[in-house]
Chains A and B, each alone.
Chain A
Amino acid sequence: MLSDHGDREPSSFDDFFRDRYSATVRLAHLLTGSNGIAEELAQDAFAQLYPRFDSVREPKSYLRTTTVNVCRNWHRRHRRELERFGRHGASEDRATDSIDELIDVIAGLPYRQRAVLVMRYWLDLSEADIAHSLDCRPGTVKSLHSRALAAIRKELP
């Protein structure tokens, strides 16, 4: 996959943690819709990277993929609870205007569809890089993306 190998990472794990922690928490928040769990999931993602930090060639990419994975696992474990909230209740953010309503609709999407939107419109990743993070082919990313937009259009006036 094409990636920015030229954007070198901080050399020590502590530096890397300080540099990437806030962004990772925000990513976890967007992927789960839960601010409350985002810091824990970010910590878990860093914990998975930690023992491999010296050998991983692209720590940022590795951390991003790991964050996507830990959030997916969290989502799967809590799927039943999320379903109980209903499609418009999964987000912690109460809808007050059309953007908040959109946040709620995105929170109700299947995880991989939501992850594609977050990586494309929040992280501005290419489809190739999204495919790498989701461990699928770019064609699948395209399919998930189109389904996500179709689902949103169906839900919103």
Chain B
Amino acid sequence: MTTSLTDDIRTAFSRQAERTTIDPSAEFGDGPLRLSFDPPHRQRPRVLMPALVAAAAVLTVGGLVVVSELRARDTANVADAPPVDVGAKAIGVFPAGGLDAVTAAGFATPESVVDAFLADRTQPEALPDGYTATYSIGTTARTGDDTAIVGFNLATENDSGDGLLLVQQVAAATEPERWVVLNGGITTFTIDQMGYRNGQLTGSFTNDIGGSTDIYVYDAATGERIANATGSPFTIDGLDAATVSVRFWNTVADGGYPIAVFAEAGVNDGDSVSGLGAESLRPAYTEALQAAQASRPVFDGPISAFEGLEPGQTINIVSADEMTLDVVYGDPAQTELVYCVGIGYEGRNYSANTCYTAADIGGLNGNFNADALDFSTVLVGGVVPDAITEIRADDGTTITPTDNMWWQVIDAGRQVTYTLVADDGRTADITLG
């Protein structure tokens, strides 16, 4: 290589792209995959599918049919599940010990059970030897009356990974809510397949990061570790449990440094499960977040600071060494009026192309995340219409918009939910970070 590696990578991609053969007469619908597209009139069912997939997935995991017996509503898709004894049978990977344990622990929200789950899994005695990890909880997406997917981040000293956990409410409709963790993990790790029959556990997984993976098997009803293995595929014989909870820790990458890769799922004796983990949860999670976004109130009123600008005019709102925020006149060459902001933050300059339409801003989607150059902090904020008079962060901070803009600096890796309050009392939540 005579130039820098990054230059060579650009050259390599250019060369490979030049070699791409493209049918110049191609039209939409050509090719063998055309059958996979839904015509517009089927859009609604397609949107609903991920929620159903998420609900169906619980059938495959440790004793979850308990739920269909306890809560009749909205469970038509699980009605064919074979009945099981409630008793002490496991109903997820956390907490261990069945419904009594869940009730005693009192996990009243998806976030509380995920917090307890991750705290348990990252305590020193639960981790592989010499390994340390911390976690933070991200955004929750409700995928059904009784199911939710919760985002989280797992970090080691020099690595972090984002993940998703599927949780379910298992208490009877007349009782206080009780949530359990069903399965999930970091997005770079997928449990391709697991089967458990006559005391033999088999399985395989995909880990995009490389390195080696330790597998720990627990009796899901008692929480006792009963076996371990390494690598994929794996086979473990001689297990004595009705349901096993299988925990994966990939602690060292190919380069030798500690990494943050974790996944966990359960399987009943006699069952085979596949496609578990964050990747399988991602579609439902994304759809649920998009649905929540679409359900926000819309404000059609003015965005005064921007609308009074003349060509070439900029209003500076913040000017400091580490942060500049400008309201910028939208380019009149655009086919639609746009509202632009100039953002400079901690060594980065995002001023070139941060523009929103009135619909973006009225729908409370005119938000930004700007990373510091060293990735230590994040500048979050947004452009809001005149109607929004206050922003309340979940840490208790209250922010008043200035010239239709608001902002806050938060630590990298943290997610904050902001409640935008309108002058007519309407509110909307957004999560940034």
Contact = CB atoms under 8 A, between A and B. Distances in A.
Interface string B256-279: 000000000000000000000001
A122 B13 contact: yes
Interface in A82-113: 93, 98-100, 102-103, 106, 110-113
Interface string A133-157: 0011111101100010111110010
A79 B34 CA distance: 23
Contacts of B30: 39, 43
Contacts, number: 178
B210 A110 contact: yes
Contacts of A1: 368-369
Contacts of A140: 160-162
Contact of A43 (B5, B29, B159): B29
A57 B161 CA distance: 28
B365 A57 contact: yes
Contact of B353 (A6, A25, A47, A137): A6
A40 interface: yes
A5 B352 CA distance: 11
A138 B28 contact: no
Interface in B273-320: 279, 282, 286
B20 A38 contact: yes
B314 to A, nearest CB: 15
Given A7-B353, A93-B19, A106-B12, A47 B33 contact: yes
A137 B12 contact: no
A117 B10 CA distance: 9
B6 A121 contact: yes
A13 B368 CA distance: 28
B9 A121 contact: yes
Nearest to B9: A121
B77 interface: no
B28 A43 contact: yes
A128 B370 contact: yes
Nearest to B283: A69
Interface residues of A, number: 66
A71 interface: no
Given A43-B30, A102-B12, A118-B13, A51 B43 contact: yes
Interface stretch (B219-227, B335-343, B386-394): B335-343
Interface in A1-35: 1-8, 13-14, 17, 21-22, 25-26, 29-30, 35
Contacts of B243: none
B54 to A, nearest CB: 16
Contact of A110 (B208, B255, B370): B208
B257 to A, nearest CB: 9
Given A47-B34, A102-B12, A29 B17 contact: yes
A137 B162 contact: yes
Contacts of B12: 99-100, 102-103, 106
Contact of A30 (B13, B153, B159): B13
Nearest to A152: B5
B33 A43 contact: yes
Given A2-B354, A30-B17, A127-B371, A22 B33 contact: no
A99 B11 contact: yes
A147 B253 contact: yes
B1 interface: yes
B76 interface: no
Contacts of B371: 127-128, 138
Contacts of B194: none
Interface in B22-41: 22-23, 26-34, 36-40
A122 B10 contact: yes
8 contacts: A1-B368, A14-B28, A21-B22, A29-B20, A50-B38, A51-B37, A57-B365, A138-B375
> Which 5 pairs of residues, A with B, have the shortest CB-CB distance?
A47-B37, A6-B355, A4-B353, A122-B13, A110-B208
Interface of B: 1, 5-6, 8-17, 19-23, 26-34, 36-40, 42-43, 46, 153, 159-162, 187-188, 190, 206, 208-210, 253-255, 279, 282, 286, 330-331, 334-336, 338, 340, 343, 350, 353-357, 359-360, 365, 368-371, 375, 412-413
